[in-house]
Amino acid sequence: MKGEVKMKSKMKWVGLLGLVLSAFSIFIHFLLARFTQMGVAEYESSVTIFSWRPVFEKPIPPTNTPSYRKLWGPVKRLESLYPDSNPRGHYADPVSETNGFIFVRIQGGFHEIRNSICDVVVVARLLNATLAMPEIQSTTSSKGISSQFKSFAYLYNEEQFVLSLAKDVTVVRTLPKDLKGARRKKEIPVFKVPYSASPFYYFHHVLPVLKKHSVVELVVSEGGCLKATLPPNFEEYQRLRCRVSFHALQFRQEVQELSAKILQRLRAPGRPFIAFDPGMTRESLTYHGCAELFQDVHTELIQHKRSWMIKRGIVKGKLSVNSAEERLKGSCPLMPQEIGILLRAYGYSKDAIIYVSGGEVFGGQRTLIPLHAMFENVIDRTSLSTPWEMIRLYGKEVNLVDTPGPPPFVEEVTKHAAWKSAGPRPRPLPPPPARPKSYNIEGWWGWVAESDNEPDSTVIELRTNAHKLLWEAIDYVICVEADVFIPGFDRDGKGHPNFASLVMGHRLYLSAASKTFRPDRKEVAKLLDEIRDHGHHANHTWLESVRRHLKKTLLDGIMEASNKSKLLSFLSHPVPECSCSRDSFEVSKNSSSPLTSQLVTSLGVAHRCPAWMDTGPISQSKDKENEEDVYEDDSVSELFFKQNAENHEGDSEVNIKEENQFEDQEDDSGER
């Protein structure tokens, strides 16, 4: 007996020692991963701690195949366009003696802030003024955010901003002490700048006051304080906008590092990916009258917001709008389900990687269910990052408790005395004690039926609005770097270009040949209505129409943006002011690719790129241009022709060959 007891005791000690050694080994493993050069990100990827589990049914085709080039390859006719935002004429450095200081307060979301910063830099250059670091109201009005980031530095890199603009404007981090004190006392002149003001507004209204008081404060709330299209003699100021947006406005280091990690994890499977921005915010849906695209409480929320905007003059129109008619006009966003149908019809297989961006998708994850049903690898930033990485991004924030407390305590004696002193019986029961109201922003909005005015934002909601800026900054980086980008909507809650428009403009500037679809919502609505009742049995004629339309938007969408979007936001179409062509005019006349030179000419790009950009030959072979139109297989048949695939395999091959011939003839006809 004693021997057995001793043996059990020894076994317990051995087991305990083994557990201690295992825990110590895991701890050392984490420390080594944390402090090695590769960092914790590589370790996290090795143990697969993220919620995304890639599902791939077949390998991606080789990059040199026509099928790959058609789906993921660059747009050949835009390969000659390169970014060039440097000054091209006489452009003097900023003088040391300026007319005074400009302090700016910027209100709005991510895209409004970015547009506004670019505009105020140009205004400072126009007025020969010193620009104090802009203040972002979304961060200064928030409570409990980290004190280590102040306003502008919460989102962007201040040092990069100052150094990049050293030859354009003089930028200081804060106002001088005397002017700062005068601002606190509200003794400096303030201008609530109108949206899309002309340069002459600043010359005639702001400049005289600036010279008199040596300081002015500008309040920008509409997402832009300067006209998008300036007169031809202001072309250098347009290029200044490009230098601000695409070079000076770099996100702070923590945002860039996390964006790089997410992008690395996204590309880890070794496959290209599609970035999709739904653009479905409550404000944009309200402004354009798209309430009937949703059901139950979401429709009611949109209508309530529309009533609120009509009373304040933001929206001019009726409260009840026929959403079906607006959709046919192209005024409503494309739903995720519709985007999924377009991508499948174009040829993307169901195991393609789709990254969903955007700080808000109205309707929540429920609206993305159809997209998940069509594609197995639909992910977002939350699937590729960890909570502690986001906490590190936010910094050391104050712990906030924004939950309703218990109702005030009332002594039983007081209740008993009130009951005795009440009127004669029978009498109604007393009302329940008052309780603080709390509303769940992700659930049912109880205030909709109670008041015409929406409740004030809680402290946590204010901080969440500041966090949205960081979320959209991450999405912005990934969308710009994506192999393919497609927007669901390109207008915000005031009818101006939105987040997706900025992304498309940045991609057009940085890499014009990258595949960026710009679907015509009016045309897409007609195409989708043709198969609304038999979506899984669409014919090849319909598929050809969809493919032809999406292929056409790769080029014609740029021309449309030049005619429409650029009038509202220069950053959504920074061509031709900020682009150059590697095709010389002599070469273009004798080139074997007249379509390429014709497109460059229609875009207005007449500037020849500097010699140092000539790093390699440009492929101008007509055969190579046509290669991107070849369809090797019909992967979309799994979605649309699943039931009849066996009976019509021969017909499918014939239709594909006919389609290839049609595409080649289309290119020969000289279509842009």
For residue 68, is it within any domain?
yes
For residue 91, is it within any domain?
no
pLDDT digits (tens, 9 = 90+) for 83-127: 999 998 888 888 888 999 999 999 988 999 999 999 999 999 999
Q: Which two tokens stand for residue 52?
A: 């995304």
DSSP state of 205: I
CA neighbor of 278 nearest in space, from 331, 338, 327, 328: 338
Give the mean pLDDT of 433-449.
48
pTM (predicted TM-score): 0.82
For residue 540, is it within any domain?
yes
For residue 30, is it within any domain?
no
pLDDT above 90: residue 404? no
CA torsion through residues 66, 71, 72, 74, sign: positive
Residues 350 and 318 in one domain: no
CA torsion through residues 158, 160, 165, 167, sign: positive
Cα–Cα distance, 433 to 302 (Å, whole number)? 32
Residues 299 and 202 in one domain: no
Domain count, the chain: 3
For residue 6, is it within any domain?
no
Residues 307 and 194 in one domain: no
Residues 343 and 467 in one domain: yes
For residue 361, is it within any domain?
yes
Residues 301 and 343 in one domain: no
pLDDT above 90: residue 296? no
For residue 55, is it within any domain?
yes
Question: What domain range is 74 assigned to?
Answer: 51-83+251-280+333-398+458-586+595-612
Residues 168 and 114 in one domain: yes
Residues 199 and 241 in one domain: yes
Residues 320 and 358 in one domain: no
Cα–Cα distance, 557 to 486 (Å, whole number)? 12
For residue 339, is it within any domain?
yes
Query: Looking at residue 429, what is its pLDDT?
Result: 60
Cα–Cα distance, 480 to 511 (Å, whole number)? 9
Residues in the chain: 672
Residues 363 and 482 in one domain: yes
Residues 118 and 207 in one domain: yes
Q: What is the largest CA-CA distance in the chain?
A: 104
Residues 213 and 126 in one domain: yes
Helices 540-563, 336-346: inter-axial angle, 10-degree rounding:
110
pLDDT digits (tens, 9 = 90+) for 608-667: 888 777 665 444 444 444 444 444 444 454 565 544 444 344 444 434 444 444 444 444
pLDDT digits (tens, 9 = 90+) for 160-195: 999 999 999 999 999 999 998 888 888 899 999 999
Q: Partners of 191 in the beta sheet?
A: 218
Residues 295 and 377 in one domain: no
